[in-house]
């Protein structure tokens, strides 16, 4: 089964889902834009309408889509339009790209529930869109955090986010 999420920089999102039992693969890439085979540089310019996403292949008997939604909404800010922290632009927008009607319904229901419960002080701006062509990111983006732990962005932004998630997720 597949799930595709855009929640800011795909380096941040990738490492979170790599730590979930039942997730087979997490691929960084681009979705939702108007250009065939975009490059990282083109997407970063913010003119292609692509989103940095992770495409997750998972085993539904070990982790279901609802659990992945919970993790996704817990590990990024779904209330900021086209922004996650210092990452600003449409390529960082919060979006769930659904692969079938069941995923769409589950996502809509999940977002409604979060809003009704007042989990976030501000309205959720996460888009819910049909999955379109996934363009896999360049090889140097794959497993980025694990391959580059000394990178200043990894050390300052990703490492604390991952540590916080693992602490909360395991409790």
Would you give the DSSP letter of residue 158?
I
User: Is residue 9 flagged as an active site residue?
Assistant: yes
Question: How far is Cα 106 from Cα 103, in angstroms, rounded to an integer?
Answer: 5
Which two tokens mark 96?
């769930």
Number of domains in the chain: 1
Output the pLDDT for position 170: 73
Domain that holds residue 69: 2-170
Cβ atoms within 10 Å of 129's Cβ, excluding its own = 17
Under 8 Å CB-to-CB from 88, ≥6 apart: which residues?
Answer: 82
Task: Give this prediction's pTM.
Answer: 0.96
Nearest-10 crossing angle of helices 101-117, 65-74: 40
Which two tokens mark 9?
């920089």
pLDDT, tens digit, 9 for 90 and up, residues 5-64:
999 999 999 999 999 999 999 999 999 999 999 999 999 999 999 999 999 999 999 999
The domain that contains 84 carries what CATH number?
3.30.1060.10
Which two tokens mark 127?
């888009």
> Per-residue pLDDT for 171 more than 60?
no
Output the pLDDT for position 149: 92
> Per-residue pLDDT for 122 more than 90?
yes
């Amino acid at each position: 089964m597949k799930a595709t999420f855009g929640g800011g920089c795909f380096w941040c999102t990738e490492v979170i889902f790599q730590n979930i039992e039942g997730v087979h693969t997490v691929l960084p890439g681009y979705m939702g834009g108007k250009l065939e085979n975009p490059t990282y540089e083109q997407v970063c310019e913010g003119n292609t309408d692509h989103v940095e996403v992770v495409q997750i292949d998972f085993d539904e008997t070990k982790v279901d889509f609802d659990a992945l939604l919970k993790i996704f909404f817990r590990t990024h800010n779904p209330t900021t339009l086209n922004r996650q922290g210092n990452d600003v632009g449409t390529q960082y927008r919060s979006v769930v790209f659904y692969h079938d009607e069941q995923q769409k319904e589950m996502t809509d229901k999940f977002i409604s529930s979060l809003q009704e419960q007042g989990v976030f002080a501000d309205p959720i701006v996460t888009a819910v869109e049909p999955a379109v062509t996934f363009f896999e990111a360049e090889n140097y983006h794959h497993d980025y955090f694990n391959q580059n732990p000394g990178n200043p962005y990894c050390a300052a932004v990703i490492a604390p986010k991952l540590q916080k998630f693992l602490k909360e997720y395991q409790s």
